[in-house]
Amino acid sequence: MPCVRLLTTVKYKRSNDGEYNNDEVNQWLMERHAGLHLHKICSSTAITHQMITHGIVTHGMECATEIDEYQMTALHILCANPHVTGDCIRAYLQLAPEAADQQDSEGMTPFQYLLCRSDVTFIEGDEDRSFSSLMAWWYGCMP
């Protein structure tokens, strides 16, 4: 599973062999989603459902199922984003429900990324953290 820290600038110490430094890693993080507009939007720390809707409408429905070098759609990125809200996921799924079943290079779907997170608190009014509850919410977001 990709590190959630891929969503933000991080500070790394130079490895023993001097292979990586902070500037190189942060440059890679900035360029990771070059040409993948919705991926960039979904990795934002200030993500909103309006940004998702605008991104899909502006860049076309095909951007919702575009994949990066790890076979991840923007929905994978969104579900790993610690700043995501339920409205963001709902907006994405309502416009592009076919992205929900895409598997990345590790065989994981966006829903599985959501399940891996222990900090999910966006299911409004629902304290039941069970798999069945989260799954019902997920499928309730789709048209």
d(CA 33, CA 70): 11
Spell out where the chain has E strands.
none
d(CA 117, CA 14): 29
64 CB neighbour count, 10 Å cutoff: 23
Q: Which pLDDT value is given to residue 5?
A: 45
What is the pLDDT confidence band of residue 2, given thresholds at 50, 70 and 90? very low
d(CA 89, CA 39): 13
Looking at the predicted structure, is the pLDDT value of residue 80 above 80?
Answer: yes
- Summarize pLDDT for 86-113 with one digit per residue, the tens: 889 989 999 999 999 999 999 999 998 8
Q: What's the CATH fold of domain 35-140?
A: 1.25.40
